[in-house]
Amino acid sequence: RNCVSANGRINMGVIGCGKMADGHIGGMIDNKKCRLVALCDVDSARMNYQKQRIENAYKSRGIAADSLKTFKDFRELLAEPGIDAVLIATPDHWHAIPAICAAEAGKAVYCEKPLTFTVAEGRKVVEAVKRTGAVFQVGSQQRSSPEFRRAVELVRNGYAGDIKEVWVGVSVGGPEPMNWKPEQCPETIDWEMWCGPAPYNPYFSNLLPKFNPDRPYDHGWNAWRSHIDYGNGSQADWGAHQFDIAMWGLGLDGKGIKYINVSDKGDMPGGKGWRQYKYVTESGIPLYKGLYPKSPKKIDGGLTFVGTEGVIAASRGHFYSSNPALETAKLNDGDEFVLNSDNHRDNFFDAVLKGTPLAAPVEVGHSSCTLCILGNIANNLGRDLEWNWRTEKFVNDEEANRFLSRKNRGQWAMY
């Protein structure tokens, strides 16, 4: 159970001060439910930029901010007794260990998606949350968006009939080995700590550019997500969002699929020339990821449920149904409704302060992340796979099972 400071606000620590954290910090500065009290990053330049930003914002409102603490090592931040909760906004290879340590330190946790780098890590995070009772929200914020919530409620209540298939709009890029030429690491960056539990590679600026305070976060997204040692590619970046909504709509939260097929032979509904992923649920419903041919243009990048009675689709800011009446129709009193959350961070804060149910609890984040990782494994092996989501193992396939975990490097091997 998480404790909250005596003033009724949540004292927040931020682990990772990159581009994703920048957006979160902007939202938390103005939120009266929390107070930012600590920052952690392996790059002192990024961290000090955010420290100054927060202090200036608070001082302009007459709020004392001189006590804002900074740390290079997340373990020191977690040892601070006055911190109630943490945001984890690090690269994917640095999600699991801080998440587990935060739960064990009695902190509430908001962890960015995808939840973890490997399936085994995800299970460890789930078990830590169960063991400690920590409030734990995964940053799958589409669950707090009205267009996705409406699509899910209509699908789950049968307004599209029986679902025949689901199309998930995620680009096809997976992680790859990178053979970049090493560069001189900026003095502000602790590169050994950045690599952390993952394999060590020499510094390269595409992974973490030198910080420019005049143009702090306009360099685009760092390339670590596409590096096979540190991320799981766009498959996990966007897949953690779209597969999450697909499984939510099918009523399979916290569960999984049975078969995975990856094909570039043109024998899938998207046509030739595209690598496509086909996931099949235990009930036989296929989820396709790859070329996205069956949705209205405004839904590109979202997902589409194809049913016996029509199509229901959603993307960020857009909702579509082949039955126009469903775009505005009210659900019946006897229908099943999902959690009504309109702000993902506020939902987390309310869970900490009042015990409000979470929009994206840890088990859901883990199962959605797992689907993304399974697709990468099938793609890397170049063959079909059968999955048992209850045991979180591939069926009679030790070669594939070896990709479900990774030994942590150096001092992090104990986790």
pLDDT digits (tens, 9 = 90+) for 73-85: 999 999 999 999 9
Is position 272 within any domain? yes
Contact, 71 vs 43, CB < 8 A? no
- Backbone Cα Rg of the chain: 21
Q: For residue 60, give every residue at least 6 positions away whose Cβ sits within 8 Å of its Cβ, in sequence order, or none.
A: none
| pLDDT over 90, % of the chain | 79
Q: Are 14 and 21 in contact (CB under 8 A)?
A: yes
- Predicted pLDDT of residue 120: 99
Q: What per-residue confidence (pLDDT) applies to 272?
A: 47
In a domain, 248, yes or no: yes
DSSP labels for 11-62? EEEEE--SHHHHHHHHHHHT-TTEEEEEEE-SBHHHHHHHHHHHHHHHHTTT
Asked if residue 151 and residue 51 are part of one domain, the reply reads no
CATH number at residue 126: 3.40.50.720
Residue 409 CA to residue 406 CA, distance in Å, equals 9
| Whether 285 and 303 share a structural domain | yes
Residues 375 and 354 in one domain: no
Taking a C-beta distance cutoff of 8 angstroms, is the pair 309, 160 a contact?
yes
Provide the sign of the torsion angle of the four alpha carbons 293, 297, 301, 307, taken in this order: negative
* CA triple 98-204-45, angle to 5 deg: 60
Cβ partners under 8 Å of residue 290, min gap 6: 170, 172, 268, 270, 274, 275, 276, 277
Q: Are residues 61 and 110 in the same domain?
A: yes
The pLDDT value given to residue 289: 81
What pLDDT does residue 383 have?
93
Whether the predicted pLDDT of 273 surpasses 50? no
**Is the pLDDT reported for residue 204 higher than 60?**
yes
Backbone φ, ψ for residue 233 (5° rounding): 70, -175
Pair (122, 166) in one structural domain: no
Dihedral of the alpha carbons of 291, 293, 296, 301, in degrees to the nearest 10: -10
User: Residue 258 belongs to a domain with what CATH number?
Assistant: 3.30.360
Number of domains in the chain: 2
Q: Token match 């088990």: residue?
A: 363
One-letter amino acid identity for 383? R
Q: Which stretch of 38-47, 291-300, 378-387 has the lowest confidence by average pLDDT?
A: 291-300
Q: Are residues 130 and 270 in the same domain?
A: no
Let me know if residue 186 belongs to a domain: no
Do residues 287 and 150 share a domain?
A: yes
Q: Does any domain span residue 413?
A: no
Residue 268 confidence (pLDDT) above 50: no
Residues 154 and 49 reside in one and the same domain:
no
pLDDT for res 5: 65
Report whether pLDDT(319) > 70: yes
Q: 239 lies in which domain range? A: 145-173+235-341+366-404
Is the pLDDT at 253 greater than 70? The verdict is yes
Task: Give the model's pLDDT for residue 63.
Answer: 87
Which candidate, 102, 129, 139, places its Cα nearest to that of 27?
139
Contacts 24+ apart (CB under 8 A), 289-292: 289/168, 289/170, 289/172, 289/235, 289/239, 289/242, 289/243, 289/375, 290/170, 290/172, 292/167, 292/169
Mean pLDDT of the chain: 92
User: Cβ(166)–Cβ(250) under 8 Å?
Assistant: yes
Q: Is residue 224 part of a domain?
A: no
59: in domain: yes
Nearest to 54 by CA among 34, 77, 73: 34
| pLDDT surpassing 70 at residue 294 | no
- Please indicate, yes or no, if residue 106 is contained in any of the structural domains: yes
All residues at 6 or more sequence positions from 204 whose CB lies less than 8 Å from its CB, including other chains: 178, 180, 181, 182, 183
Average pLDDT over residues 353-379: 97
Regarding whether 102 and 167 lie in a shared domain, the answer is: no
Question: Can you tell me the mean pLDDT for 236-264?
Answer: 93
Q: How many CA atoms lie within 13 A of 370 on its CB side?
A: 31
Same domain, 79 and 169: no
pLDDT band at 265 (very low <50, low <70, confident <90, very high): low
pLDDT confidence tier of residue 219, bands split at 50, 70 and 90: low
The pLDDT of residue 2 is above 80? no
In a domain, 398, yes or no: yes
- Whether residues 91 and 149 share a domain: the answer is no
User: pLDDT per residue over 127-185, tens digit each?
Assistant: 999 999 999 999 999 999 999 999 999 999 999 999 999 998 877 667 888 788 899 99
Helix, strand, or coil (residue 246): helix
Residue in 174, 327, 326, 312 with CA at minimum distance from that of residue 245: 312
Q: Where are the alpha helices (DSSP H) in 198-287?
A: 233-237, 239-249
Region at 233 (left for phi over 0; alpha for psi -120 to 50; beta for the rest): left
Which of the pair, 288 or 353, is modelled with greater confidence? 353
**pLDDT tens for residues 85-113?**
999 999 999 999 999 999 999 999 999 99
Band the pLDDT of 295: cuts 50, 70, 90. low
Do 54 and 65 belong to one domain? yes
Residue 91's closest CA among 274, 230, 263?
A: 230
